Structure 1
Amino acid sequence: MNDAAAADAALRCTEVSVGYHGTPVLTNVTLDLVPGQRLALIGPNGAGKSTLIKSILGLVPVLAGTCTVLGRTPSHARTLIGYVPQTDSLDADFPVTAGQVVMMGRYRRIGWWRPTRGVDRRAVQEALDRLGLADHARTHFGVLSGGQRQRVLLARAIAAEPRLLLLDEPFNGVDLVSQDAILSVLRELGAAGTTLVLSTHDLTLAHEFADTVCVLNGRQWALGPPGATLTADTLRRAYGGHAIELRDGRTVLVEP
């Protein structure tokens, strides 16, 4: 890939190894994502999915290889990235409304101590509307259901208008209504050119959501379309034999 193509890429990792204190958790990851591409990261617990996502954010060091995000180093691209973590650090008892949580996504545009503008308030309301939470802007975050809280956290991420959106197991403990609402918005974002990277244990979800799947477990085992990567053979090797192919052609994972 030439320099111009690299600059246009949403995410480019070449033989990347990432980890902590100089010790790799994940090795030999190679990815090239274009704007609007939807990538699912698949792998068992401890496979390195969250570590890879944090390295793209510039929070975990790249120990080997190269990683560029929107033509920049991860730390310099952070203002262009949206992030929905597995669990949020917000205390459910903290006196903050859903609308105030979503407004946090605008702070890097307006500054922490500057007053909000009309454009910021509109962005917050639009994000809540898209997630079906238009009537909950003034609702205390702590009284929302788990699924509603996760929708608020996604609204916070998209209110920042990111070009790359990272989602780390966003459907853990989420009800079907919230999952459908989140998936609908993610598809809209992808169609509009936002690049999406989502980690999940749900193979059916990966099939439905992603145009590209990366199978991880300590290293990259496979990369490509869901039909070519989510095969019984690949999953057995990556998961250490815990993949089971059902009669109807579906593959499920059984982890100890």
Structure 2
Amino acid sequence: MTGMTDSAFTRPARFSPEEWEARVQLAAAYRIFDHLGWTELIYNHISLRVPGPDAHFLINPFGLHYSEVCASNLVKVDADGAIVGHSDWPINPAGFTFHGAIHATLPDAHCVMHVHTTPTQAVCCLKDGLSFTNFYAAQLYGKIAYHEFEGITVHRDEGARILASAQGKPVLMLRNHGPVTIGFSLPQAFSLMWLFTRACEVQLATQSMGEATPIPVAVLEKCVRDSLNFDPKFGAGQDAFSALQRIVDRVDPTYRR
């Protein structure tokens, strides 16, 4: 399968070219998460808005590992989490509680990502949360919000509270739970998640050795202004996402089917 591209996979007639492109991109993201070790059995979620006038979104089929997700088996849902069209799989009700609320309320929330990786969840469990004391965290200064733990996110009313907690910030730390990133595109949401993950990894490594050196607020603010991860002129993560997509294409391009 090495060297195969989307030309080797035919778009099913039931999907428009625009929806199929979104499906392929989202399926690639699931495979990239698997490649990076960001999976949690069959749990966690990445959701993506379907291009067009309808408030429809794509999310992973509940029961499949990320390595099994492909463009055609992604599930299309409306803002209430009801499945649109046919799907052989359900969705995880814990997944769309806050994804749906974010997508339905924030017009620029085209992609929402949530993980339970050990370093990110560990920092979400810390009383003081993320420490802006390393290169990666510095780029997230002023972009972090927190939501208090309420248990498993299966209750619809919590979606509104999660949305309120986000306060328009692109990174929401669900305390004792894990991070959520919100992007105007899938690559930008991925870039936020990658930055947050690296920030947490470095923070935990630093704390294991001693006290971190503080960074002045003025320098933190400068780092945010200078970060290419948020600038659409520089792709806002598209180049990095494309590089990782090329890797998963070489490993197993069947996510494109």
The structure with more helix, counted as a fraction of residues: 2
The structure with more strand, counted as a fraction of residues: 1
